[in-house]
Amino acid sequence: MQLISWNIDSINAAIQHQSARGEMTWDVLNKIAARKPDIFAIQETKLKPTGLTKKQAAALSDLFPDYHIYVNSSTARPGYSGTMFLSRNEPLEVTFPKISAPDTMDIEGRIITLEFEDFYVSTVYTPNSGSGLARLDDRGAWDDAYRSYLQGLDNKKPVIFSGDMNVAHQEIDLKNFKTNHHSAGFTDPEREKFSALLEAGFTDTLRMKNPDTPGIYTWWAQISKTSKINNSGWRIDYYLVSNRLAAKVSDSHVIDTGLRQDHAPIALEINI
């Protein structure tokens, strides 16, 4: 199986592609379609609570014919957050979990889970700790609730899950680790929560395949014109699997997006 996951930062911007960045996003989306992944997970869709418009649905159906499409949009704030799955095979069940998360996080469209005969596939858009770490405590509560949710799935069947998890786990996972020690996404509490997730029985597939390789990042700040050129990035997007699936992973890598900044897609190949 080939799976791809991507924080697209607006489905509509990609489909409209009326700006230089929109054109680059549309180009990446087309490259993903050409790969014909078995399952494609998308985060930060920024759709309305009503989901895809007719134009958006038609554009995706043209790119991904015969895929089943599942959308979880935010009802807390229109055009915010949101996740989506495109799957070549129809799952046994699709759920849009609520995990008793703080504030409005449970209604921000942050998780979708597909159940297949022998495993689950889930995607997540983890809340950011925010400016000045205003949501750090709530973010920690989210991490605890999400980990518990995944453990519940894992008790039934093995799990493959991906998404923008808004944390660089180790110093190797971002370029400027010294100056970002107290920045959202690289605080000690956030990193400790990610460690707890791994300790709960899950494997970071890219780091398993590339244990000591520096410079592998999935996000480059748009605010800096040279972040991508200088590869001053962060690895905050992940494919994780239940430990008992780890030996079945044949490849885990970041898909090249050229000069496009923000998030890059990640890919997983697993013999399952």
CB 255, CB 243: distance < 8 Å: no
Strand partners, 39: 3, 87
The strand ranges marked E within 49-118 are 68-72, 83-87, 93-95, 111-115
**Which of 255, 256, 215 lies closest to 232, judged by CA?**
215
164 is catalytic: yes
3-state secondary structure of 93: strand
CB 163, CB 242: distance < 8 Å: no
125 is catalytic: yes
Residue from 125, 146, 149, 217 carrying the catalytic annotation? 125
Residue with structure tokens 């309305």? 48
263 is catalytic: yes
What are 110's two structure tokens? 């942050």
Residue from 106, 164, 173, 262 carrying the catalytic annotation? 164
Distance CA 148, CA 57 (A): 33
Distance CA 18, CA 55 (A): 15
**Which of 246, 239, 97 lies closest to 158, judged by CA?**
246
What Cα–Cα distance (Å) separates residue 168 from each residue in 123, 193, 207, 250? 18, 11, 12, 23
What are 158's two structure tokens? 């093995």
Q: What is the 3-state secondary structure (H, E, C) of 196-222?
A: HHHHCCEEEHHHHHCCCCCCCCCEECC
- Residues taking part in catalysis: 125, 164, 263
